[in-house]
Amino acid sequence: MCCFSRPVISVSATNIFARADADWQQFLVYSMTLNAKSELAMVLPVPVRIGTDENDFGFIDLSGYPDFFTEMKKGFPVPKTRSDWHFGCSATRSAAAPALKVVRVGSFEASFVPTLPDFSRLDERFRLPAETWNKLPSYQDYGFAVFKLKSGEAKIHPMAFSFPRRDVKALFFPTVHIHDGKVHPKAEFDHTLYCQPSEHERPQLLQWAESYADAGRFMNVEKARGLVLRNQHCYQKQMRGQLPNRDTFVSIAA
C-alpha cells in the first residue's frame, strides 16, 4: 500500500519489482512520479514475518541506478504493427523506548517501523493519523517502510529494500493506495509490476508477459546491487484504470 501523510496532487507511472531471495527474504523496488505541494512521508505497509525488527529490514540505495525501471522495460519491447509504427496511528510512548533509526538512502530519509505502536518512536513528520490505521484492520500486524519525500513534481528514483516475508509461497506488491486520507473501494491504477521468479516458479505467471531474454541482456546488473539476477528472465504485468483498491499477492509456489 502506498499511503501519504499529507494530500498529494497526483501520483502516476508507478513501477514495482519483486523477487524472492533465500532465507524467507523478498526484495522490493518501488518508483513513481509524484506531485505534492509540501514535504510529506510515504508509508508502505509490508507483510513482514512476525517479530521482525529494524536489524532484519534492509534499505538499499538505488540512487546510482535511476534508470532501473527504464532499462527493465526494455526487456519487453512492443512490436510494431501496420497501424502503429511507434512504441507505444497513535500509541502511548514509553519513556524508555528508543527513537527509531532514520537512515539516508540516496535522496531519501527512511525508517522501518516494526509495528503500529512503534510509530510513537518516530519523528512526528513521518507519522499518519491514528484514524487512518483504524480504517485498515488488515494492516494491524504489518511492518512499515517510511520515506520522506520533497515537495513539487518529480519522478522518484527507485526506493528499494529487503524484508523477511511472512508467506514464502507468494510475492507481495504494495498496490492499494491512499492519496487523500480516505480508503476507497476502487482506485485509478497506473501501475506496472515486474518480478523475476526462479525456474520452478515460472508456471505460476502464465498471465504475465515474459522478457525476450535474461535480465543481463537489458539491465545493468552491477548497478542493481543484487536485486536482479543476470541469467533469469523477468515478467511484467500492467494494471490500468479503475480497479479494486487492494494489494497484490502473486503465488510463486511450485
Nearest to 112 by CA among 175, 168, 56: 56
Confidence of residue 181 (pLDDT cuts 50, 70, 90): low
Assess whether pLDDT exceeds 50 at residue 85.
Answer: no
* CA atoms lying within 13 Å on the CB side of residue 47: 17
Q: What is the pLDDT of residue 166?
A: 93
Has this prediction a pTM greater than 0.95? no
Q: How far apart are CA 121 and CA 136, in angstroms?
A: 21
The percentage of residues in the chain with a pLDDT greater than 70, rounded to a whole number, is: 85
Q: Please state, in angstroms and as integers, the Cα–Cα distance from residue 149 to each residue in 8, 34, 38, 163, following that order.
A: 11, 9, 9, 21
Does residue 66 carry a pLDDT above 80?
A: yes
- According to CATH, the topology of domain 2-251 is Baculovirus p35 (2.60.250)
